[in-house]
Amino acid sequence: MKLQFKLALYNALTKFAIILFTGGLIIISLARISNHHIELRLRQKKAELLAHLSSKDIDNILHQQKAFSDFNIFQEEYIIITPINSLYDNATEVTFTTEARPVEKRMQSFRILKSGFNYENHGYLLEIGETIDAVDELKSTIKGFTLLMLFIALSLTLLIDLIFTQYLLKPFYQIIDRKLVKVNDPMNFDYEKISTTTQDFKLLDDSISSLMVKISNLFTLEKQFIANVSHELLTPISIISSRLENILQQEGLTEDNENKIFASLKTIDRLKAIIKSLLLISQIENNQFNKKDQVNISEIIKEINQEIADRLEIKKLKFYNNTNAAYTMPGNRSLMYTLLYNIINNSVKYNRVGGGIILSDTQTPHTYTLEINDTGIGMDAIEIEKAFNRFEKLNTSEKESYGLGLAIVKSIAAFHEVGIQINSTKNTGTTFILTFKKNPHLH
């Protein structure tokens, strides 16, 4: 989950909790306060009633020893006085209850004061009730209102939080996007500062930039080193090989010496091939090749097929070209040729006699996938992991493997933004999967 959404979610949850808590608190305290007020009023009324007991009307009623009940006009209050047969010992004791009473065919909740009193040697039970329906209504109104407020406040703050955190975190996401995600080569790093007033982001940006400076310096140094060393080695090699060739032209050389010189020339060729491969890799990595050709993959495959026809024959291999998509990409033709050649040539080299090589492809609107499948000796997971490393050789009887073929493949693939994956089972075969992005960025 993105940081932005996490923050917004957190804010929403805390707000929800706060509103829930305060809402609950308000409702509870509202109930208690209103009860308290009602009880106060009821006590006052009782006091008033007892004070007016001497008045004639009540007097009469009470003397008739009948129960007296009275509702006021709005049926919000009532008084019931019921005579009882004994006197009250503790006439001042007051109890409060909440009960439902029928009022005009419907039940209404009342807060009821119950108390006994003695009047002229008679005991009476006094009940004064006051409706609390109004309070309940108020409570439910407040509940609804709180809920509504809760909902509005939540959605509003969620929206504001999202907008604000988006604004706040924009530089952060810019840093991630421009400085981390889109950087596949330190050489193409964008050193332009991301404008932000947040100190932490500034620090992050600066740290990444300075780290990248260090990395790219090392990178350049390594590339320069390889290029220089390779370059400087070529001339001496040229001298040695020319000298040996000249010696060979001399008459009277013994067969033994001639063989030794040829062996030396072969060693020099090997050295030359290694240096050239390293130079090629360094040139690819330094972007010294252009990508101006329209490269037709199936054409290249046909060419390679012709080129390796003799090798296929030697090993009695069958070459099945099941590709049928006419895929053309912008790139460097000779490099793409080398890439496919090295992979297919490996399929030949590491194949068993009488085996096969199968090429197939699939296309989606955004990608073109080419699979090169062989029935060779295969690789285990550790070998696959190391396959693209320089000077990594499989245990093979191949004398002239320098362990650079797949390193070249890797750098060419990276140069053309071609995805490359190896699936392999030991002693069964290997599949190279090349994924070409359609319309990749052109630098």
Partner 1 sequence: MNILIVEDEKSLILEVYQFLTNEGFTVENVYTKKAAAEKILVNNYDFILLDLGLPDGDGFELLKILKDLKGREDAVIILTARGDVNDRIKGLEEGADDYLPKPFSLNELLARIHAITRRKHKLESNDIDIKGFRINIQKRTVLYGDQRINLTKKEFDIFNYLVLNKKRVISRTNLTEHVWGDILEVNSDSNFVDVHVKNLRKKLSQFAPIDWFETVRSIGYRINI
Enumerate binding residues for partner 1 (CB under 8 A).
231, 234-235, 237-239, 241-243, 245-246, 248-249, 255, 258-259, 262, 265-266, 268-269, 272-273, 276-277, 279-280, 283, 288-289, 310-311, 313-314, 334, 337-338, 341-342, 345, 349, 398-402, 404-405, 408
192 vs 269, beta carbon nearer partner 1: 269
Give the number of other Cβ atoms within 10 Å of residue 433's Cβ. 14
The pairing of strands 356-363 and 318-321 is: parallel
User: Whole-angstrom Cα distance, residue 279 to residue 391?
Assistant: 14
User: Whole-angstrom Cα distance, residue 434 to residue 367?
Assistant: 10
User: Whole-angstrom Cα distance, residue 117 to residue 112?
Assistant: 16
Q: Report how far apart, in Å, the C-alpha atoms of 238 and of each of 133, 233, 278, 393 are.
A: 109, 9, 17, 27
CB 431, min distance to partner 1, A: 21
CB 418, min distance to partner 1, A: 17
238 vs 428, beta carbon nearer partner 1: 238
48 vs 258, beta carbon nearer partner 1: 258
CB 401, min distance to partner 1, A: 6
- What are the backbone angles phi and psi of residue 209, rounded to the nearest 5°? -60, -45
CB 252, min distance to partner 1, A: 14
Q: How many CA atoms lie within 13 A of 44 on its CB side?
A: 7
Give the number of other Cβ atoms within 10 Å of residue 253's Cβ. 14
CB 395, min distance to partner 1, A: 16
User: Whole-angstrom Cα distance, residue 76 to residue 339?
Assistant: 95
238 vs 322, beta carbon nearer partner 1: 238
184 vs 290, beta carbon nearer partner 1: 290
Q: Is the Cβ–Cβ distance between 367 and 436 less than 8 Å? A: yes
104 vs 313, beta carbon nearer partner 1: 313
CB 323, min distance to partner 1, A: 22
CB 345, min distance to partner 1, A: 7
52 vs 231, beta carbon nearer partner 1: 231
- What are the backbone angles phi and psi of residue 143, rounded to the nearest 5°? -60, -50
**Token pair in block for residue 369:** 């996938």
User: Whole-angstrom Cα distance, residue 268 to residue 262?
Assistant: 10
